[in-house]
Amino acid sequence: MKNENTTNKIMNEKFKDLPVDEDTQIILSFATKVEHYDVVYQKWYWSGIYAESIIFCNEDVTPLSEEEIKKEVAENTALLKDNSQMTIKRGDKYTFVNFNFITE
């Protein structure tokens, strides 16, 4: 069984190349899990929009469709507000599920 320090090291390695857009302000960011998936949770602000993201490594969710990934977030976290839109963006290494959008 892995100890917590080993698990944190693995997660830090997995997400070490996590991109941040130059004009995006990260308010909160930490590694966690959604079911058995390692993820990063972020709250952020960009151009008058506040939102939240769950970020997966592509290698972990390759077999899943975009709808299945959204379902993982919706059903396995208590983060999604009622009637929140969800967007998904698959990059080269990471998949971003964005939700809880608030505009100024």
Could you give the CA distance from residue 76 to residue 91 in angstroms, rounded to a whole number?
23
- CA-based end-to-end distance of the chain: 46
Half-sphere exposure of 65 (CA within 13 A, CB side): 3
* Total number of residues shown for the chain: 104
Q: What is the pLDDT of residue 12?
A: 72
* pLDDT at residue 8, rounded to an integer: 56
Q: What's the pLDDT at 101?
A: 97
Q: What are the tokens at 95?
A: 């998949």
Cα(57)–Cα(10) distance, integer angstroms: 12
Cα-based angle 66, 36, 75 (whole degrees, multiple of 5):
55
The domains located in the chain, with CATH, are 4-103 (3.30.200)
Residue closest to 19 by CA, chosen among 99, 103, 90, 101: 90
What pTM value is reported for the model?
0.87
Checking if the pLDDT of 20 tops 90, the result is: no
Q: How many CB atoms lie within 10 A of CB 35?
A: 10
| DSSP per residue, 77-92 | -S-PPTT--EEEEE-S
Q: Encode pLDDT of 40-97 as tens digits.
A: 999 999 999 999 999 999 999 999 999 999 999 999 999 999 999 999 999 999 999 9
